[in-house]
Structure 1
Amino acid sequence: DFDYTITGYIIKPQITRSTRNSMHVFLNGRMVRTFRLYKAIEDGYEDFIVKGRHPLAVLQIRMDSQLLDVNVHPSKWEVRLSKENQLEQLIRTEIHEILKNTVLAPKVEVSAARQTYYEPISLDTLDTDMPVQKEIQQRPVQQEPVQVQPVQKPIMEPAEVIREPEPEYIPPAEPEKPVAREKLPDMQVIGQLHGKFILCAVENGLAILDQHACQERVHYEEIRAKLNKEPVMTDCLIPLQVKASADLVQRVDEINEAAADLHISFEPFGRDLLIVRRIPLWMKEIDAESFLQDVMDSFREEREIRYARMEKKKIATMACHRSIRFNRNLTMDEMREVIRQLGTCENPYHCPHGRPTFVILSEKELTKEFLR
């Protein structure tokens, strides 16, 4: 069901803004303001930038005009879309996959006031000659120069290229090779700074690791891997109580269907309460009653349970509590073990909250600061 064709560019998460003003979305050549698509872009960046910061991105979307209603607002800045959930999921997934498979180790310039470091990456998509409105062209825009990479391959093929299979034999296509994600640079531990940072020599520079953020990432991925398996259930000595409106109590079957991924079952208990008698064992490590209340609030507000997002926040909290704290001195072997574990992670460059796990100071920049 290929209803959309997307082209665009996204910027690596080292560069962010305090507002959404640097996110631009075009629908069939028209610039629009749409909170849900802005949110989909931000969700794609969720694991890579800190809360409260916003990415830089330009997306151009072609779609069947029958799926687009531009008569929502007099200025036509706001629109209404059919199959908007499908488009949101596409944007969110593609951006996240691109960032996950891109080397994202931040490089820090000592003379940051004189030069800003960033490198744009392209959102692999179909080429397009999308027109731009005259009124948009006339607006003066001041931007930092960005070198973009050429578009090379499509996110998805449009519907019109789908054909009936040919009768003659067609040899099977070779599987597409996944984008190679480079390993962490080789790091030789030098020592520890103020009980907070691990200092390492790397090729052509110095790596500074945040020991707490590194362990957060390791523990986050370990816990998430365990939770992806069938959970071990445990009985509650005292059933957990969740406040709910009378309407929600009557819709308990609908709620349980939406909460199936949680492996829990709500039961009515009076006019405005639901109870839970069994929970996954991992909920013992958090405030389970508070978590279940969040589940209920999510269903009440959105008529769905965004379990994956709530689970991520709770896992991040669990990982934080298990990790090395600041002001703890580590031995050389302990520091090497932190680095070894970090190297096994799917995303070793950011903690679960989006902060970098390490930065690199280049030898060239250090030499320049000493006037050599």
Structure 2
Amino acid sequence: LKLVDVNVHPSKWEVRLSKEKQLLHLIETSINEQLRHDPQIKLTRAFQSASHPEDTHEPLVFDIPSTSYVSQNELSYPIQGEMERRVHGFRVLAQHHRKYIIAENEDGLYIFDQHASMERVRYEYFKRKRLGKVHNQQALLLPLLISNKLSTLQHEQLVAAFSKFQVAIEPFDANSLVIRSVPQWMSDTDHQKVIDDMLEYFEGDIRKNEEDIQKHMLATLACHSSIRFNNYLSVAQMQQLLDDLMLCEQPDHCPHGRPTFIKISAKNLEKEFLR
């Protein structure tokens, strides 16, 4: 026990070994010694050798789940008429510079901002399925420490905002808070960026409307859990994203107000080419 210092962290979340190199050497030596004296295990081939080379290259750097974030069964309104045409009318053509999705339908050519589009999908998904419901928690491997210079009121509003989304936040000391767990649906979010964004949001104004706080929190979560520029997407992934976007209540813009797409009509294309 003398080799272990348990007083490194006030809450005992971290311990330190005084002779780490010697301990590592001891473990490696013991394992090597054991392996040298143990009888060799005869391995049997579990699989047949491939008769021809196979391409195992995986080009995807981002994976959109095969299950749509938005499905017809989850909507509060029926998909009919114009909505149905909006969902199924787009055909993906290409990804431009790993930033924009180029698609077409009978009305013309469309260019989608892939980040803004997924922000809108995530925002409405989080709003409809997550807010106000009880969800399983996921403990953070490294708890997040939040040091802030907010006023007492701003401090209370920040804690209330995170608590509303079932983030386990609690005081750490007089000037700091700590987050130890988050809902499982928030696990793929950049938690540190969400915290930084919310701290910046609360600076300045003394009091903020609770509804505005929730909208900003949703928008922040959507932003920091969405694909970014320079992320490669397959045609199937792009098509899924557009289908999900067209099922949203407000597909024309992201939660921050930026447009999700621009349209170039067939008439304008012909005009540009002097047709």
What TM-score do you get using the length of structure 1 for normalisation? 0.38
Greater helix share, structure number:
2
